Amino acid sequence: MLKIVVGNKKYSSWSLRGWLVLKHAAVPFEEIVVPLDMPDTAASIRKYSPSGRVPALIDGDVTVWDSLAIAEYLHEKFPDKRLWPKDSAQRARARALAAEMHSGFANLRNDCSMKIVQQYPYKALRPETQAEVDRIVAIWEDCLKQSGGPFLFGKEPCIADAFYAPVVSRLRTYSIPVSGAAKAYCDTVWAWPPLQAWVADAQRETLRAKFHED
Give per-residue pLDDT as tens, 31-52.
Answer: 999 988 888 888 999 999 999 9
Instruction: Answer yes or no: is pLDDT of 144 > 80.
Output: yes
pLDDT class of 214 with cuts at 50, 70, 90: low
* Integer angstrom CA distances of residue 71 from 68, 74, 155, 162, 181: 5, 5, 20, 9, 26
pLDDT for position 36: 85
* Residue-range domains of the chain with CATH: 2-81 (3.40.30.10), 88-196 (1.20.1050.10)
Supply the pTM of this predicted model: 0.95
pLDDT for position 212: 62
Give per-residue pLDDT as tens, 64-92.
Answer: 999 999 999 999 999 999 999 999 999 99
